Structure 1
C-alpha cells in the first residue's frame, strides 16, 4: 500500500500526464485533483490541515527582543513518544533550555540537510547539462548572514 506521500506524488504525475500547465502551484494541482476526485478529504484530514496551518502560523510568529532584533517566538522539537514521532512546540520566552537547545540543533541539521540536497541537485544538473556553463554553488553563508544582520540593524 502506498504511503500518503507516495499518493500525493502520484497525483502530481497524473497531473503531468494529463497535459496540465507546468510549472504549476501545489494549489493548482490540488484543485485539479479534487475536481477529478483523485483526492477526497477524510475527517482526519481536517485535523491534519488545522495542525499544519497552526504549525505554519507558529513558525511565522516573531517578536522584538530587548535589543530590537526580530526573533522567532515559537520553536519546535521533534521527539519520539510512544513509538511515534511528534513535534512539540514551545514559546522561546518560557521554554526549558533543553527544548531550545534541541530546537536550535534540529533547525541547524535541517539547514545542513537542505545544503547537502542542494549540492547534489546542482551537481546533477551540471552533469546533465555539461554543454552549458556550470551553475556555481557557494555554501559559505558567512557574508550573507553578516549582510542580513547589518540590514536588520540598519532598518531598526
Structure 2
C-alpha cells in the first residue's frame, strides 16, 4: 500500500469517526472535509491527474450513432506501462489516422475487464451464498449470448419500407 493510500485511509477513518454517524461515505464530502481540515493539500500533479481523469471520463461518455442507428462509443483507450508509470492513450473510431492495432488492443483490454467483473461478481455471490446458507442460493448466469443477441435484434431486422 502506498503512503498516499495510507494517508487517504487515515483521513477517511477520521471522517467516519467525526462526521459520518450512518457509515455512508460520499467521496466528495470526505475530500471537501479533508481539505477544510488541512488533512489534504493537493499539489500540481494531483490537480493534473484530476483534470486528466475528467478528460478520460468525457472521452468514455462520448457516443455517436451510425447509419444503422447503432449507438457506439467514439473513443477507446489502451492502457500500457512506460517504465513504472501506467498511461492511457485514446483514439477516436472515426479518425482514419488511428491505427487498427490500437482498437484490437483496446477491445481485448475491455473484454478482460468484463471477465474480471464477472469473476468478482461470481465470487461475491458465492461468498454471500456461503454466509447465508439457510436461504435459497442466489443464482447468477454469466453467459450473455442471448442478452447480447436480444439487444442487437432491432439492428438485425430488415427495415420497413
> Shorter-chain TM-score category?
0.7 to 0.9
6-15 vs 71-80, which moves further: 6-15
Instruction: Select which of 139, 142, 145 maps to 2:142.
Output: 139
42-51 vs 140-149, which moves further: 140-149
Deviation at 1:69, TM superposition (A): 0.9
Deviation at 1:49, TM superposition (A): 0.7
* Cα distance change, pair 29–99 in 1 and its aligned pair in 2 (3 A): same
* 5+ long unaligned stretches in structure 2: none
2:106 corresponding residue in structure 1: 103
TM-score with structure 1 length normalisation?
A: 0.83
* Cα distance change, pair 152–46 in 1 and its aligned pair in 2 (3 A): farther
Aligned pairs for 1:85-124 within 5 A: 85-94=86-95, 95-124=98-127
* Cα distance change, pair 85–93 in 1 and its aligned pair in 2 (3 A): same
> What CA distance in whole angstroms lies between the structure 2 residues aligned with 1:133 and 1:37?
49
Deviation at 1:70, TM superposition (A): 0.7
Residues 43-73 of structure 1: CA deviation (Å, up to 9, x unaligned): 2111111000000000001111232211011
* Cα distance change, pair 122–5 in 1 and its aligned pair in 2 (3 A): farther
1:49 corresponding residue in structure 2: 50
1:67 corresponding residue in structure 2: 68
> What CA distance in whole angstroms lies between the structure 2 residues aligned with 1:149 and 1:25?
37
> What CA distance in whole angstroms lies between the structure 2 residues aligned with 1:34 and 1:131?
46
> What CA distance in whole angstroms lies between the structure 2 residues aligned with 1:152 and 1:23?
42
